[in-house]
Amino acid sequence: MSSENGVTGEGAEGAPPEQLALIRESVRKAKVPRAKPRTWRGAALAKQLPVARVLVDKGVLHLDRYFDYAVPEELDADAQPGVRVRVRFGAGRGRVRDGRREGGGLIDGFLIERLAESDYSGPLAALAQVVSPERVLSEELLGLARAVADRYAGSLADVLQLAVPPRSARAEQRPSPAPLPPPGAPQAGSWGRYERGSAFLESLATGGAPRAVWNALPGPEWSEELARAVAATLSSGRGALVVVPDGRAVARVDAALTAVLGEGRHAVLTADAGPEKRYREWLAVRRGAVRAVVGTRAAMFAPVQDLGLVALWDDGDDSHSEPHAPQPHAREVLLLRAAQDKCAFLLGSWSCTVEAAQLVESGWAGPLVASREQVRAVAPLVRTVGDQDLARDEAARAARLPTLAWQAVREGLRHGPVLVQVPRRGYVPRMACGNCRAPARCRHCSGPLEGQESGAALKCGWCGREEPAWHCPECGGFRLRAQVVGARRTAEELGRAFPAVPVRTSGREHVLDTVPGAPALVVSTPGAEPVAEGGYAAALLLDGWAMLGRPDLRAGEDALRRWIAAAALVRGQGAGGTVVVVAEPTLRPVQALVRWDPVGHAVRELGERAELGFPPVSRMAAVSGTGEALAGFLSAVELPVEAEVLGPVPLPVTTGGGPRRVGAPPVGEQWERVLVRVPPGRGAALASALKAAQAARMAARGEGVVWVRVDPPDIG
């Protein structure tokens, strides 16, 4: 070890650390060249490993650089890897005031590791404070955070902000309960309904790391099935983590875990628990007192010790997408965790995303599915009402309520509650074929065509090219129509049509958890459907057009997922359960609903995405900023050679007032956006290029900010 860089503990006999700055001050006055490293001669430093490598928590500024600090002797014991520290961080060589050296202000950081010496050639400042001896940042969590930062071209500090909850001293003071010994292996329960279900549980219980995409049968059993997978993993002596989309799902899995495991074996991590309780639960997990976790998306980082299983429910739900930078998706984070910890992976849903299908198609995960007979036995009968039916149906055109729907509701109400799903308001209409309703796409890059004012040319939402002579590649038609919105009124009319029956509503403001099994009309927006005791007798899914006409790539998948989520609450067709969907029966998502084949739908969708160069087969990133800032960024970034830049296109100007959209430019500023697309396998190269350019831009003080978003959710 070199005494040149000082921090070797060699100078313990000299001046106290505060005087270091004075020493350096006099050195400077003596005009010794500054390049020569000076020593911390005289500082009372830790005798072993006197250097602390620290991640300074200061936004995007540093982009994953560590800074070395000297460890004063009195902090030696507490300054362990993983603790929160405070350090002085600021410009210049520091001023001297009252005999103390003062850099910038005190800022927070994490102690990453202790070293014998630093590779930094200047003098080291001392750690100012160890905030608490609790080692919150484990090596695994750091590795995961780093992988997530790389995947999303974000900074480590940003990811750690998502991964480590704010400290609460009171929560730290309390001792966590003593860990319980592993439970015995559970029964397979209803996992026997799936072809390889029992084998999957067996593998978990014997320490294996199976990976599966699980297409769950409709009905309420899924939460118990998840709980049994957790129990099997615990019985192997390992920990397990379950991430679900919302508080209602957490409550279901929580109850199932209590039923299967008993009290005290699992923690619940949700954002709405309040900071102290949340940190207390998190600490119990970190300390190894609790080995099983269920929670919403922030729990994806839960520091479960000796992780044996990560499980995710309903990855198509967009609440799995973290809104804070760098906006990681729970599915991708859990994929990274499964790879890093070599643990089992379970991705379950009633429906199926293209990403899930890709995991199976690529061979990374196996399918966990029930036989067609099983599906037919538990799924409701699905019927459709398309345009032709509506055209023939004069009464329906007036009331917008088709006869078939009317009959299904009336018949259903004789046997129990009937669910009516109405879409939420607020999606942008885009252009589709007026004849067959296929979305109108750009012939160059397959982006969505956006309608201008009537008469004006169509323009691509991705590359900005005009389309002067569009015709439909599906049916040859060349009439366009904007997709229409609006359905709440239909439900109100429905309520008036059945005056003897109570109408209950469940939506954003007021979400019902369950409804009794008595006849009632239950009007709900997607995602807010209450569970009915004994299942709904029937469900009516209104305005499929609105759902399918949504601008983004996932319109079909999303519509199917929402329909299936509602239909999964309906009794099986053997028990008379019926679903009526008002949508064209020739459309692919509608057919998939009728056949109850979400996996087949996702597989076909995946094939198409591969052909068109869409994610998740290729990877995309969106970069946005003012025209000037964007141009500057694009001229500086060294993209992988395969990368394709689409655009720029102007973004809609954010207007003041009303709810601010996440990811929208500052109010009143005209921003532009490009999409960058790379082929399979080049995602990491793309992310690293974008990150490097961002970092260089910060250092060079480039004009204006650009936002980088890997896996943009709204690509048309």
At position 453, the amino acid (one-letter code) is E
68 binds DNA (CB under 7 A): yes
91 binds DNA (CB under 7 A): yes
120 binds DNA (CB under 7 A): yes
124 binds DNA (CB under 7 A): yes
Closest among 56, 246, 20 to 160, alpha carbons compared: 56
Closest among 321, 318, 306, 230 to 267, alpha carbons compared: 230
95 binds DNA (CB under 7 A): yes
Smaller CB separation from DNA, 91 or 469: 91
Residue 683: CB minimum distance to DNA, A: 28
> Torsion angle, CA of 559/525/654/712, rounded to 10 degrees?
-40
- Residue 352 among known ligand-binding residues: no
94 binds DNA (CB under 7 A): yes
Q: Is there a contact between 462 and 445 (Cβ–Cβ < 8 Å)?
A: yes
Q: Which two tokens stand for residue 266?
A: 């699992």
Show the binding pattern over residues 668-707: x = contacts DNA (CB under 7 A), - = does not.
------------------------------xx-x------
Residue 44: CB minimum distance to DNA, A: 16
Rounded to whole angstroms, the Cα distance separating 253 from 478 reads: 50
Residue 120: CB minimum distance to DNA, A: 4
List the interface residues with DNA, window 42-61 (CB under 7 A).
61
- The site that binds DNA (CB under 7 A) totals a number of residues, namely 27
Contact region with DNA (CB under 7 A), list: 87-95, 342-350, 410-418, 456-464 = 87-95
Rounded to whole angstroms, the Cα distance separating 342 from 359 reads: 16
116 binds DNA (CB under 7 A): no
Residue 432: CB minimum distance to DNA, A: 44
Rounded to whole angstroms, the Cα distance separating 706 from 438 reads: 34
125 binds DNA (CB under 7 A): yes
Residue 129: CB minimum distance to DNA, A: 14
DSSP 476: -
Residue 133: CB minimum distance to DNA, A: 21
Smaller CB separation from DNA, 107 or 497: 107
Residue 89: CB minimum distance to DNA, A: 5
Among 14, 81, 90, 386, interactor with DNA by CB under 7 A: 90
Contact region with DNA (CB under 7 A), list: 116-124, 241-249, 482-490, 592-600 = 116-124
Query: How many CB atoms sit inside 10 A of residue 610's CB?
Result: 16
Residue 156: CB minimum distance to DNA, A: 15
Smaller CB separation from DNA, 8 or 168: 8
Smaller CB separation from DNA, 53 or 459: 53
Rounded to whole angstroms, the Cα distance separating 711 from 716 reads: 12
Distances (CA, A) of 462 to 142, 447, 655: 36, 5, 22
88 binds DNA (CB under 7 A): yes
Among 17, 103, 239, 295, interactor with DNA by CB under 7 A: 103
Rounded to whole angstroms, the Cα distance separating 694 from 23 reads: 38
> Torsion angle, CA of 364/680/554/607, rounded to 10 degrees?
-70
List the interface residues with DNA, window 15-44 (CB under 7 A).
34
Closest among 429, 446, 436 to 472, alpha carbons compared: 436
Residue 431: CB minimum distance to DNA, A: 41
Closest among 138, 16, 11, 129 to 79, alpha carbons compared: 129
- Residue 460 among known ligand-binding residues: yes
Distances (CA, A) of 351 to 313, 363, 593: 10, 19, 10
Rounded to whole angstroms, the Cα distance separating 477 from 404 reads: 30
Q: Quick one: three-class SS letters along 262-315? A: CCCCEEEECHHHCHHHHHHHHHHHHCCCCCEEEECHHHHHCCCCCEEEEEEECC
Distances (CA, A) of 240 to 148, 192, 203, 206, 226: 20, 21, 14, 14, 10
89 binds DNA (CB under 7 A): yes
Contact region with DNA (CB under 7 A), list: 68-76, 350-358, 359-367, 595-603 = 68-76
Rounded to whole angstroms, the Cα distance separating 99 from 304 reads: 46
Among 67, 110, 222, 671, interactor with DNA by CB under 7 A: 67
Exposure b/e, 427-438, CB count within 10 A at least 16 = b? bbbbbbbeeebe
Q: Is there a contact between 390 and 398 (Cβ–Cβ < 8 Å)?
A: no
Q: Which residue has 């900010």 as its token pair?
A: 705
Among 8, 19, 39, 118, interactor with DNA by CB under 7 A: 118
Query: How many CB atoms sit inside 10 A of residue 696's CB?
Result: 15
- Residue 445 among known ligand-binding residues: yes
Contact region with DNA (CB under 7 A), list: 122-130, 173-181, 315-323, 568-576 = 122-130
Could you list the residues that contact DNA (CB under 7 A)?
34, 61, 66-70, 87-95, 103-104, 118, 120, 122-125, 698-699, 701
Q: Which residues are annotated as a binding site?
A: 433, 436, 442, 445, 460, 463, 472, 475
Q: Which residues are annotated as a binding site for Zn(2+)?
A: 433, 436, 442, 445, 460, 463, 472, 475
